[in-house]
Structures are given as C-alpha cells and as structure tokens.
Chains A and B, each alone.
Chain A
Amino acid sequence: MNFEWTTEQRALRDRVRTLLARELPPDWEHISRHGPGSPAQTAFSLDFCPKLAAEGLLVPHWPVSHGGRGAPAWEHFILGEELFAAGEPRGPQYMNVNFIGATLMKYGTPQQQARYLPGMAAGRAVWCQGFSEPSAGSDLASLATRAIQREDEYLINGSKVWTSYAGMAQTCFLLARTGAGKGGIAIFLVPMDTPGITVRAIPSLIGHGDIHEVFFDDVVVPATARLGAEGQAWAIIGYALSLERVGLARYAFSRRVLDRMVCELQARGRFVDTHVRTQAAQALAACEAARLLVYRVVDERARGLPPSAVSNVARVAVVKADHAVSDFALAYFGDALSGDGWPLVQAHHERAIAAGIASGAAEIQLNLVAQAWLQLPREPLPERT
C-alpha cells in the first residue's frame, strides 16, 4: 500500500500547474465565476482545450488510434484533479474526455467514432446530455421522449430539462423511448442544429445560462445516429456513468477554496479563534475523506477491477466535502457572496448548491450504497400507472 506519487506523476502535476499558470488569464476567477456550463467558461474551453490537446494533455488516456497515448488511469486522474482544482478550464469538455469519448469508442460505429472523436481529441467539441425530463429525474427509466423509427430514420418528439451546456453544445447524447420499459430506450447522437430542436435557458441559482429546457418537435435523425442497438441503452448508460464517477475531483476545488479562505482569515487576524480553526479543520477532514475515497475508485480502475459501489460511497463523500466548505464560506465570507465580492468563493457557493443534485441525486447514491455496499433489500416500488 502506497499513498505516494511517483516521480513521473509529480512531474505531470508540475507540468499541468505550469501550464495553468501560463494559460489562465488574470481574470480567470471572473471567467469561471459561474462554472463549467456558463457561456463564459464554455467559450474559454474552446480556446484552452486545443492548447491542452497540443501539449498531449487533453486525452492522454485514450488509445493511440484515437489521438491519445494510452496513458494509465492515474495520469488521467491527476490531470483532472489539477484542472478541477483550478476551476475546470476544460468547461463542459471534461465530459468528453471522461466518459462520452470512451462510450463512443466502446459502443459507437466506426462512422460515429470518425465523426465525433477527432473533435473531442482536438478540444473543439461541446456536448450536452439529454437525460432528465419534466417527469423523469431520478427515475430516469420513466422518460417519455419518443423516437419512432420510419425506415432509415427516427422521428423524435419530447422534451428534456435541467440540461447543462445545451445552450452552446454542438451535439446531444440523447435518451429516447423506442418501446416500453428500460429495454425500450435508445441513445441518439443528435446535432443540436437539427431542425425542430429548441433550447431555452432556465434562470437558476447556479450559473448564468447553465441549465436549459430542450424541446424536440418532429426532429428527424438518421438511423445511423443511434448509439448501439435499440434496448441496449441501459447498459450503455451504466458504462458511461461508471466512467463518469471515476475521479470526481470536486473536493480538490473545495480544498483550494478552503485554503484561500483560511489565508484570508489569517490576514484579517481571525484565525486565532479556536472555533474558526476547528470549523476549518472539520471542512478539511471532509475534503480529505472525499479525496481518499475517490482515490479508492481510481485505484480500482487502475488495477483493472470491475466498477463497484465504492464509486457511490465516494460520491456521497464528495458532496459532503462541498457542503462542508460551502458552510464555512457562508459562516465567514457571507459578505463576499454578494455583488462583486469574491468570485472564487461565489463560484464554489453556486457549485455546492448543485453538488448533491447534478449527475444524480445524493439520495440515489445512498440507495445504491445501501443496496450494493450493505446488501440491504430494495424498497418495494409502487406499481407504475
């Protein structure tokens, strides 16, 4: 058992930090004020990610055939940890490199791979996930957006909601119903400029222009836009989510914000107060707990073990860490959250609000921990009407 980084891994961190110091502009905290899905940060990612790609730091874990160099899981993770700590200058493109790309590599046709992977590897692709619907949130399998096959094309009607990044996305990773039940769902790779798609930003507590409604009115896509077979969607989603949950380094941003707040409290002479110190340490312990549990997930992946419920355990801990730091900020930097206060703390505050909701509710994670980790019986579901 070894918790230390190798010389190569430390060198990679240094390299990423040097690149960030060079490439992030002086007003980066303002640009990243509203998070990875904001128009400002998304636009920045389209300038920043090609530079990462040029340095071989965007998709190093991808196989050589798709523009990577087959780098080990830890290398990809260290990269993500450093970038997330910095406020995620990859914007929404973190999704591409973490799981959409790998999912296309596993389930996509050669034509789909040729169409989409080069753009991701070059840092020019923005995707959104068409998952949640007005009546299908945590209960995703109840989604109602319908795709009806007509010879070699599909006619799609329905709507998606809470969709991050949709305002600037070029492509949607869309779930739609082709039949009944979980087996009646298919995935479509849909260009967002397809006629019949309407995107409307939803004013929200998080970000500016981050979450959206997306309407599909008689949208026609070719059958070749379907990812995998009809009925295979649930397995594909499971695969994608298992990758999404590897290395969720949100705690790294929380820890950075915490350190900055402590620094400021020291400058103001307030950090001599034992109450302040214990609260800061409590938040720090939450970040450390999350960090180690996320490392457990990455370690599993690095050793080639199958995904386990430890990823759900880690996600719960990550949410707790976000909230611990956010609570500390509210207690001692409430003034900085208004107006032109402190953009770094403002950004963390907004992200923490969504921490337990985005990418699947924390309560669903607790269900999975209870059932898969503790082997408790599933709560009986009511009959669907």
Chain B
Amino acid sequence: MNLEFNPDQLALLDAVERIASAHDARSVLGANHFEYSTSLQTDLDAAGIFEAAAVEELGAVAAVAMIHRLAMLPQCVELVAAALVLPLLAPDLARPCAVFWGRRDGPARWSPGARTALCVRGDIVETAMLTDADVANLDSPFGYPVGRLIEPDALSWRRLDLDAAELRRLWRLGVAIELTGCLGAALHAVVAHVRDRRQFGRPLGAFQAVQHRLAAAAVQVEAGRWLALQAAHSGCDADAACALAHAQECTPAITYDLHQFMGAMGLTLEHPLHRWTTRAKMLRADMGGAHAQQLVLAAAVWGLEVTA
C-alpha cells in the first residue's frame, strides 16, 4: 500500500497541469452551456498524453488522475473514451469518439464533432466512422455537446472484436472520475465565492450552516477520487461500479447545495458554476445511474448475475 504517484505518473500529471492551468488562466467563456475548446484539444493531442493508460509505468491510474484534472476545467473536451477506452481497447479508432449505449438512435454526448461512433448492445460492440453531416445537434440543458445520429442504420457499422464487459468497466471508471472532477471544480468555485461574498456582516463561508454542507460535500468528493483511483489500479469491475455508484449517489445533494450557496449568480451563464453542475447532472444518469451501479456492485461482491 503506497498512495503516492510514481515518478512517471507525476511527470505526466505535471504536463497535464501545465496545459490545464494555461487554458484555465486564459479561458474566455461565452454565454453558452458549454465551451468545447479546440485549442485545449489540440494541446492535449500534441502532448500525446491520451496514450497514458496504455503505457505500463503510467496505466489507468495516471489516466484517471488526468481525467480528474481536465474535468475541473470550465472548458470541456471528450475525456472518457479518449483517455481510457480507446488507448486500452481500440487505439486505432479516430477521436473524438461518441459512445451509444443500447441503441444507435439515442442521444449521445460528444456525438456532434465526433469522428467515430461506438455502439454497445449486450456483448456486441460496433463502430462507424462519422462526419459532421451524420449528426444532428440537440438542444440540451447539459454542459456537453449532445447529438443524435441522423440515419444511424445508413452508416457503415462494423463489429469490433472487443470485450464489451471491459468497455463497460472502463466507461464506469471514466465517468466516475469525470463526475468527481466536475463536482470538485464546482465545489472549489463555490468555496471561493463564499469566502468573498459577505452578508450579515461576514463572509457566507463563516456560517457553520454553510461550512458543514460544503465540508460534507468535500468529504464525498475526496472519497470519490480515491474510489476511482483504487478502481483504476485494481482493474476490478466491482471497484469501478463502487466508484460510479458513490459519485452518482452523492451528486444530487451536492449540486443542490452548491447552487444554493451561489444564489442567483449561479443561475447565470456568465458564472462558470453551471459548466460543472450541468455536466454532473448528465453523468449522474450515465450507465443507468446509481441504482444500476449498485446492482452491479452487489452482484460482483455478493453474487447473483445481473445485466447492466
């Protein structure tokens, strides 16, 4: 048991931090629900860091830590497929990649602009190449580009010889840490706000009623990070389901509290809080939501097969 990153992982995370903080510092956000940053995407691609999961010295632990940091940016890029699924299972597929669960014709985040679609139905994993013309953008309250395939059955799908269960595990892991990163960033934003914002003659953050709820959120977020890191290290489906179950279960109360403490400022598109909370609200329902992960976890630990 040693919970310190190894030197290679630290070097990678330093590189990620340099890119992330540079983009964080110069972000100019429009009055939009999400800001897909092509320049961030370009910098991350140029640094080659999305390959980390497949590098022995770095592994899924480094990929998870990387997703966590990047999810904390107000801008967004596709992370779960890019940093976990593709490098470990399908390195030849083009990014960005949108994943359709259960059906080809459902909405999927990151499908606008995607160059590859993956569709997972039971044990079958198929892929198709995409162009912008294949996808219709959907108006969405969530902080991601969301779209739907216009004529899914007209695309050239080919079946991949790929373990669907392993794909599900990696997806659970990736969503768990992306969701945790979003909650962590939203928490930071609100903590900064309540330190500065004075009401009744003192900072909002000096009221215990506020402190306790933020502290409770911080405990959940920190737990989420370590559950995901453990799941990354173990490669075990139960751990991934546990990490995602935890993150999804605690999301509603945390996003509620954070918006309460931000007040009307948090209702505006100008303030970045929504960039993390609306992402969190979408990720909360991914893979069937906390209930589904809990069933997977229960089956993995105590037996009885269930289908996710």
Listed in ascending order, the chain A residues whose CB lies under 8 Å from chain B are: 1-5, 9, 74, 259, 262, 266, 271-272, 274, 277-278, 280-282, 284-285, 288-290, 292-293, 295-296, 298-299, 302-303, 310, 313, 316-317, 320, 363, 365-367, 369-371, 373-380
Contact with A along B201-213 (1 / 0, CB 8 A): 0110111101110
Report the minimal beta-carbon distance from A128 to chain B, rounded to whole angstroms. 30
Check if A289 sits within 8 Å of B212, measured CB to CB.
no
Q: Provide the bound-state CA to CA distance between A316 and B217, in Å.
A: 11
Q: Known interface pairs A280-B298, A284-B301. Does A316 touch B215 (Cβ–Cβ under 8 Å)?
A: yes
Check if B216 sits within 8 Å of A376, measured CB to CB.
no
Q: Does B227 sit within 8 A of A, measured CB to CB?
A: yes
Interface of chain B residues 215 through 245 with chain A (CB within 8 A): 215-216, 218-220, 222-224, 226-227, 229-230, 233-234, 242, 245
What 4 A-B pairs have minimum CB-CB distances, sorted nearest first? A370-B211, A281-B294, A289-B223, A369-B215
- Which of chain A's residues have a CB closer than 8 A to the CB of B304? 271-272, 277
- Of B3, B191, B290, chain A has the most CB atoms within 10 Å of the CB of B3
Closest residue of chain B to A275 (Cβ to Cβ) is B291
Q: Provide the bound-state CA to CA distance between A251 and B173, in Å.
A: 23
Q: Known interface pairs A289-B227, A299-B2, A375-B195. Does A363 touch B295 (Cβ–Cβ under 8 Å)?
A: no
9 residue pairs A–B, Cβ–Cβ below 8 Å: A3-B233, A274-B295, A277-B299, A278-B294, A281-B293, A289-B226, A289-B227, A298-B1, A374-B218
Report the minimal beta-carbon distance from B244 to chain A, rounded to whole angstroms. 10
Listed in ascending order, the chain B residues whose CB lies under 8 Å from chain A are: 1-6, 9, 61, 191, 194-195, 202-203, 205-208, 210-212, 214-216, 218-220, 222-224, 226-227, 229-230, 233-234, 242, 245-246, 249, 290-291, 293-295, 297-299, 301-304
Check if B223 sits within 8 Å of A282, measured CB to CB.
no
Q: Provide the bound-state CA to CA distance between A379 and B212, in Å.
A: 11
Report the minimal beta-carbon distance from A48 to chain B, rounded to whole angstroms. 27
- Which of chain A's residues have a CB closer than 8 A to the CB of B194? 376
Q: Provide the bound-state CA to CA distance between A9 and B1, in Å.
A: 9
Q: Which of A259, A277, A285 contacts B295 (CB 8 A)?
A: A277
Check if B3 sits within 8 Å of A1, measured CB to CB.
yes
Q: Which of B210, B230, B303 contacts A3 (CB 8 A)?
A: B230
Q: Provide the bound-state CA to CA distance between A320 and B293, in Å.
A: 20
Closest residue of chain A to B190 (Cβ to Cβ) is A374
Q: Provide the bound-state CA to CA distance between A49 and B229, in Å.
A: 37
Closest residue of chain B to A290 (Cβ to Cβ) is B223
Q: Provide the bound-state CA to CA distance between A359 and B230, in Å.
A: 29
Check if A278 sits within 8 Å of B206, measured CB to CB.
no
Closest residue of chain B to A292 (Cβ to Cβ) is B226
Q: Known interface pairs A274-B295, A375-B195. Does A317 touch B223 (Cβ–Cβ under 8 Å)?
A: yes
- Which of chain A's residues have a CB closer than 8 A to the CB of B297? 281, 284-285
Report the minimal beta-carbon distance from B290 to chain A, rounded to whole angstroms. 8
